[in-house]
Amino acid sequence: MMSNPLEKYEKYKQYLAYVKFLNHWLWDCFGTLTFPASESFDLEFTKKVFKRWLRDISIREGIQVACFFIITHKGITTHIHFLLISHCGERDGEINRTWFIHEKKWEKYWRYHADIDYVRSQLKARKYLAKHIWKHRHDFVEMDFYNTKLLAKEKLDDCSVQLLEDFLNV
């Protein structure tokens, strides 16, 4: 437990930095996927299963997805927390975003427990994910991306990010 005020302040600054970093995208959905306690933790296996699940969704739904995700592990429990962007192609050089996400159907594709939902509040979704990185209540935390090309296309410019932050008061 942290009792040093300076250490708490530094950790809080890290948390705000993660929220600010995640402001560079407008996320469509967020989710938490759980591995059963009976599965032994293997980082590469976990990433592989998650990325295969994302690829399968893309193929089944005929869309492209990109996401920022973290893998957390504590004791015998492994979770993947993610923010996801989806789109269904480009028209006249502009990305055609899709807001038609079958979250319940996607949950069924995951062979374990899954909670997936639309992002109703960009700020709350970003804070939720940043909290899991910042709090360090886990034995292990790993951050990664899926489909960096789409993330690069979807990334907001600095002016848009500043307007968004001003609007969200971050």
- Residue 70 · residue 142 · CB < 8 Å: yes
pLDDT of residue 160: 65
Of 105, 99, 134, 102, residue with least CA distance to 120: 99
pLDDT of residue 49: 92
User: In which element (H, E) is residue 94 found?
Assistant: strand 94-97
Query: What is the average pLDDT value for the chain, to the nearest integer?
Result: 81
Instruction: Give tens-digit pLDDT for 41-53.
Output: 788 989 999 999 9
To 10 degrees, the CA torsion angle through 139, 14, 145, 91?
A: 150
Instruction: Give tens-digit pLDDT for 100-150.
Output: 567 777 888 888 889 998 888 999 999 988 888 776 677 788 889 999 999
pTM for the model stands at 0.82
Rg over CA atoms, the chain: 17
Domain limits, the chain: 26-86+101-160
What is 26-86+101-160's CATH number? 3.30.70
Of 131, 137, 108, 97, residue with least CA distance to 19: 131
Joined together, the tokens standing for residue 40 give: 């032994």
Helix segments in the chain, DSSP class H = 5-22, 43-61, 103-109, 122-134, 148-154, 158-168
Of 12, 7, 82, residue with least CA distance to 46: 82
